[in-house]
Amino acid sequence: DAKTTQPNSMESNEEEPVHLPCNHSTISGTDYIHWYRQLPSQGPEYVIHGLTSNVNNRMASLAIAEDRKSSTLILHRATLRDAAVYYCIREGSNYKLTFGKGTLLTVNP
Which residues in 20-39 contact other proteins (CB under 8 A)?
32, 34, 36
- Cβ nearer to other proteins, comparing 95 with 109: 95
* Residues from 32 through 71 that contact other proteins (CB under 8 A): 32, 34, 36, 41-46, 49, 51
> Which residue, among 23, 66, 72, 30, has the nearest Cα to 51 in the 3D structure?
30
Read off the DSSP letter of residue 46: E
Determine the residue type at 84: A
Nearer to other proteins, 40 or 109 (CB): 40
Those residues whose C-beta lies under 8 Å from the C-beta of residue 47, and which sit 6 or more positions away, are 35, 36, 37, 59, 60, 73, 86
Chain residues binding other proteins by CB under 8 A are: 2, 32, 34, 36, 41-46, 49, 51, 87, 91, 95-102
